[in-house]
């Protein structure tokens, strides 16, 4: 992302002067801060968010988008540090009353194993959904497709009815770099999706440009990543789940449960749309850790040795 497209914004010009004059940063360091800010502002532009009105949830969604782009934990930490600097500047300028980055966490720079939900926890989340309403049936279909198909939240948000081949039990997904892949979908998930499609066809406020999108908001527009993020946080809280989860957690759970069930790593790589098998291999570490925990918990010679 290039900062030049945002240089006409007064807050960006003032922030650049702050970095030069008050922080006394070198040219290269200053440019790095501005390029990281450009990533945030570009994301906000796609989500119709004003930087001055951004919430912690908005920023957490941004960090989730960095994960989806495959940005390393170290680079994520650097970007978050730059964002925190920007919002501290806005506080100093009295441009905002509170700092939304105060509770924004940086990723661990050690070996990072993503959070995974158990099958029981996923069932508990789905149990919180009121499926007697169209919105509830939509929300259930969202959770089902995140988990049963291992989709990225951006892939789900942009999924179209024309991408579905439900009779053949496949969906066509366009991932990073607009690369297409086919992902299987099970019978129970298909029925849940069809229930939502029936409701969706009854909506009379859908614009022509939005008509092919599968998941729509009440306003007739395709659902945003932030709406999905907030939905999951709300359902997890209602289900009493204290893990720090996001839409991406369902993707991690999808891959982990497949591996635990005996699926081979190459097949999982294909379904996730990973360019490299090295990216998929993180799930072997999760599986090994799970097996170790099971041994430590249940083997008579290992109990209490953790």
pLDDT tens string 57-105? 999 999 988 887 878 778 888 899 999 999 999 999 889 999 999 888 8
Question: Where is the domain boundary, 28, 57, 92?
Answer: 92
Residue 23 annotated to the active site: no
Give 25-45 pLDDT, tens digit per residue: 888 888 989 999 999 999 999
Q: Is residue 191 part of a domain?
A: yes
Angle between helix 134-149 and 225-238 (nearest 10): 90
pTM exceeding 0.75: no
| Cα–Cα distance measured from residue 24 to residue 8, given in angstroms and rounded to the nearest whole number | 22
Q: Is 153 exposed, middle or buried (0-12, 13-18, 19+ CB in 10 A)?
A: buried
Q: Which of 39, 137, 138, 152 is catalytic?
A: 152
169, 217: one domain: yes
Taking the alpha carbons at both ends of the chain, their separation in whole angstroms is 46
Instruction: Based on the fold, state whether residues 170 and 208 are members of the same structural domain.
Output: yes
Res. 291 pLDDT band, cuts 50 70 90: very low
Catalytic-residue membership of 233: no
Span of 11-15, 157-161, 285-289 with lowest mean pLDDT: 285-289
Instruction: Write out the residue range of the structural domain in which residue 209 sits.
Output: 119-296
Verify that 48 and 128 share a domain, yes or no.
no
Based on the residue annotation, tell me whether 238 is a catalytic residue of this protein. Answer: no
Q: Tell me, yes or no, whether 128 lies in a domain.
A: yes
Q: 48 and 186 share a domain? A: no
Domain match, 74 and 133 both = no
Q: Which of 137, 222, 248, 252 is catalytic?
A: 248
Quote the CA–CA distance of 66 and 36 in Å, as a whole number. 11
Total count of domains within the chain:
2
């Amino acid at each position: 992302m290039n900062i030049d497209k945002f240089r006409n914004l007064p807050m960006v010009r003032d922030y650049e002067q702050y970095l030069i004059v008050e922080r006394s940063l070198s040219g290269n360091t200053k440019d790095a801060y501005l390029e990281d800010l450009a990533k945030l502002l570009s994301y906000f532009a796609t989500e119709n968010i004003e930087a001055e009105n951004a919430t912690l949830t908005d920023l957490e969604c941004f960090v989730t988008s960095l994960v989806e782009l495959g940005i390393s934990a170290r680079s994520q930490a650097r970007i978050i540090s730059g964002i925190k600097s920007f919002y501290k500047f806005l506080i100093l300028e009295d441009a905002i009353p509170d700092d939304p980055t105060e509770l924004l966490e940086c990723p661990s720079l050690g070996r990072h194993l993503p959070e995974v939900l158990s099958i029981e926890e996923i069932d508990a989340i789905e149990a919180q959904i009121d499926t007697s309403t169209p919105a509830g049936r939509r929300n259930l279909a969202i959770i089902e497709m995140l988990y049963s198909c291992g989709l990225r939240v951006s892939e789900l948000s942009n999924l179209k009815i024309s991408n579905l081949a439900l009779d053949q039990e496949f969906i066509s997904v366009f991932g990073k770099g607009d690369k297409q892949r086919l992902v299987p979908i099970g019978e129970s998930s298909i029925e849940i999706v069809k229930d939502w499609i029936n409701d969706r066809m009854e909506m009379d406020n859908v614009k022509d440009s939005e008509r092919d999108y599968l998941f729509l908001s009440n306003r007739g527009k395709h659902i945003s990543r932030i709406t999905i993020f907030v939905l999951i946080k709300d359902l997890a809280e209602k289900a009493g789940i204290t893990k720090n989860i996001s839409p991406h957690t369902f993707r991690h759970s999808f891959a982990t449960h497949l591996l635990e069930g005996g699926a081979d790593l190459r097949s999982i790589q294909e379904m996730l749309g990973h360019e490299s098998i090295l990216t998929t291999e993180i799930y072997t570490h999760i599986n090994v850790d799970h097996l170790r925990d099971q041994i430590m918990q249940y083997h008579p010679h290992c109990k209490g040795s953790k």
